[in-house]
Homo-oligomer: A and B are copies of this chain.
């Protein structure tokens, strides 16, 4: 029992110190490790397998909408990065610079891509000639580098994994349609696959992407009440096209600028999974994204027939879900603690008495609920149970999120809410950036988004300055 205790005691409780709990979970669930390059992390097998599942599912959904994958170089010449004014201002302060190739200094230094708008524009400039070449709906899976000062595993690291889609269209309408389409694709993915409810909305000008005309976002709420921007989709209008000279001849043979979009999600989503679903026993993974959905754990495994029967059961379950058998020489209690720490959705316990009675004990990771299931029924019961867990986890996260949304009509109420009610705060805004700046400076809350599906006018005046209000904003402290 000493060992089990050690494993479990090693996690700080969420209530005690949420940040430390998070750090404990990423380490103890063996999702990542720190590397000898400060701010860069190692994705260990358990962490990378989650990313692979995310990739496979998203990639499938992308391709259904006509996305084609490509791969661009990881380096951007300094002159290319500087082609679009807002963009370079946004990114130049936080890029890593390559100055030497082999023994020789480079003629022009290269930055390691922080994002690849400029590379795609440079490519599209030659690739697109006629309206027949449009639309271009390209995506790449890669890593990007941003030289951040403060880093946290999955949430903010100097190198992270992501996908970045970059499209070019004939018309402004088509570009806008694609921008919204991809945002909705992200939202549906987060809700269906990761069981993370999100608020869909538009960023204010202050918070939008460097060089974008408009940025749409999906915002999720973590267990501690902080928001996490979980995916963004940008409409560039023809701004980049004008800066790079990306033109096509239309059907009347007239030269037109293309309209562009870009959109991305990253390994941050793994951070969201941890902070939305995790508990004091560790990670809790929704079945759809869990690399292992079920762990068979034999009890009294040295008794005759137990291991054979457990292996047979695992073999049968392997046909209906991603099942594994823990046949190591650790104690059952230790194995339970490990399975819980790793967030595996279901545990199946099987001992001599269970075998004699032709059943097994099934334990849900998300609720701890134990049930006895006949060995004749496992192939039908387990998949249903996985579906139920997926659905319940979403509903629980949604209930938590909804119970952490409060309204503020006046500035004092707003400040009070920020300090005492962690979560989203709905409040009206005049549209002036000064108010956003003031709120951020004085309370630490930022404007998360102007929601698409919640246009309620909760007051006539701006919560900050009292002038006529234009927009409802979801505010919150954020990662």
Contact = CB atoms under 8 A, between A and B. Distances in A.
A49 interface: yes
A356 interface: no
A62 interface: no
Contact of A37 (B43, B70, B100, B110): B110
17 contacts: A33-B123, A35-B119, A36-B80, A37-B73, A37-B75, A37-B110, A42-B71, A43-B72, A44-B70, A45-B68, A45-B69, A48-B70, A48-B71, A71-B143, A95-B102, A97-B99, A142-B143
A104 to B, nearest CB: 8
A82 to B, nearest CB: 13
A96 interface: yes
A112 B100 CA distance: 11
B98 A102 contact: no
A72 B35 contact: yes
Interface residues of A, number: 51
A40 interface: yes
Given A36-B122, A42-B71, 12 more contacts: A35-B72, A37-B73, A40-B75, A42-B72, A43-B72, A45-B138, A48-B69, A49-B69, A96-B110, A97-B98, A97-B101, A98-B98
A70 B453 CA distance: 39
A260 B40 CA distance: 24
Contacts of A93: 102-103
Interface string A155-175: 000110100000000000000
Interface string A15-53: 000000000000000000101110011111100110110
A145 interface: yes
Contacts of A77: 36-37
Would you list the 8 A-B pairs with minimal beta carbon distance, nearest first?
Answer: A40-B73, A101-B147, A43-B71, A45-B68, A97-B100, A102-B147, A99-B99, A37-B75
Interface string A49-89: 10110000000000000001111111111001000000000
Contacts of A100: 96-97, 99
A189 B94 CA distance: 42
Contacts of A68: 45, 48-49
A127 B73 contact: no
A54 to B, nearest CB: 13
A94 B102 contact: yes
Interface string A263-300: 00000000000000000000000000000000000000
Contacts of A101: 96-97, 147, 158
Contact of A70 (B45, B138, B142): B45
A110 B44 CA distance: 22
Contacts of A95: 102
Nearest to A120: B42
B41 A73 contact: yes
A73 B147 contact: no
Contacts of A70: 42-45, 48
